[in-house]
Amino acid sequence: MTEPTTASPDQGPLCDLLVLDLTRALAGPHAAMMLGDMGARVIKVESPAGDDTRGWGPPFLGEDDERESTYFLSANRNKESLVLDLKTEEDRELLARLVRRADVLMENFRTGVLDRLGFPVSRLHELNPGLVVLSITGFGHDGPEAKRAGYDQIAQGEGGLMSLTGTEAPTKVGVPIADLLAGMNGAFGVLAALHERTRTGRGRVVRTSLLAGMVGVHAFQGTRWTVAGEVPGLAGDHHPSIAPYGLFETGSAPIQIACGSENLWRALCAALDLDPADPRFATNSDRVADRDELIALLESHFATDPAEHWLALLAEAGVPSGKVRTLDDVYAWEQTRSQGLLLDVEHATQGHLQLPGSPVRFDDNPFSGGRSTHAAPPTLGQHDSSIREWLDAED
């Protein structure tokens, strides 16, 4: 394990950790990036062909042998890249040397692959009893479908999320949410295991899956079935249990409104000169039951003026509301920038890049993720020499 260090706060709260990232695609790389954002040293171990996502595009940046996938760039900042061919004895020995020094090893191979490469959990813990191992699979490491490969859209469907999303047909979320949630859950589990290690001195295996991530975010939709025996359908653009709460057309562009309490409903009625005691809509249950009629009533008002008029009026009335922004608008928005959600990095071949930043900040540190500087995603094998030199010097 890495030795504790006295580090300046802007290096990040995890700056004394060494993470070996053997994952590829998105779920595992996202988990490792979360720890890297917090200051951990993350060594991304890649095959000679590189992470699959290096070839996922367009769009790409650069030309020919310096071409970089924007997909890869989204999930691999704050990492070093080391190329190892784990089919060779020499590179397996180098990985073993790294394992002896690491705090965390992350992998998302199919069940059994790491064992066949010569690194079952038993050997990993022989090499390093304090090692925390994160294993991410598609559908879980055991059970009747453990051997299935994990792909985001398939997991969104199999895990029920697509049955809730959309208006006329099941629809996937616009980002690979099953992968991202598996990564977030994995990082959370790793930190819990690291905390436990401070008491026990021993690491453990943390397991999660794309399926677990999907089921884990069913929230009230899940208990509609498990408790109430009701199978939810497509939720569309309106909340299934609260009204009015959703997307409404105006004279120029759609806006969103969230009346999550009776006080907010009354405030909306006052702003629009409606009767809050109208028996059709007097309670939230009434409004949910007559949602279509309520939407038609509100949109008949909103059609008379552009979105900006209504957003200003609703803000003055204290009714939560907002526009639907495109991503270019989101990244240009001063509020986004004020939260440290854009990072400036210098890439080895592409020069200056702006990347979406960590969603976490700390109260005594203004930097995204708690570290003052961030490293661009690495080129394939960019740190081969420096990592080998460091290992030789440490040994």
Domain 18-217+338-394, CATH: 3.40.50.10540
CA separation (Å) from 251 to 183, 236, 255, 303?
41, 21, 10, 4
Which one, of 294, 273, 272, lies nearest residue 282 by Cα? 294
Enumerate the domain spans of the chain: 18-217+338-394, 255-323
The strand pairing partners of 104, in sequence order, are 19, 132
**3-state DSSP call for residue 306?**
coil
Q: Letter for the amino acid at 197?
A: R
Tell me which residues are annotated as active site. 239
Q: Cα–Cα distance between 180 and 164 in angstroms, integer?
A: 18
Q: In this structure, which long-range contacts are made by residues 356-362, counting pairs with CB atoms below 8 Å and at least 24 apart in sequence?
A: 356/74, 356/331, 357/37, 358/34, 358/37, 358/38, 360/37, 360/38, 362/13
Confidence bin at 9 (pLDDT 50/70/90): low
Residue 1 has pLDDT above 70, yes or no: no
Whole-model pTM?
A: 0.93
The tens digit of pLDDT for each residue in 193-225 reads 999 999 999 999 999 999 999 999 999 999 999
For the record, the structure tokens of 268 come out as 């909306």
Nearest residue to 135 via CA among 217, 212, 47, 216 = 212
User: pLDDT tens digit string along 302-331?
Assistant: 999 999 999 999 999 999 999 999 999 999
Determine which helix (DSSP H) or strand (DSSP E) holds 133, and give its type and residue range: strand 132-137
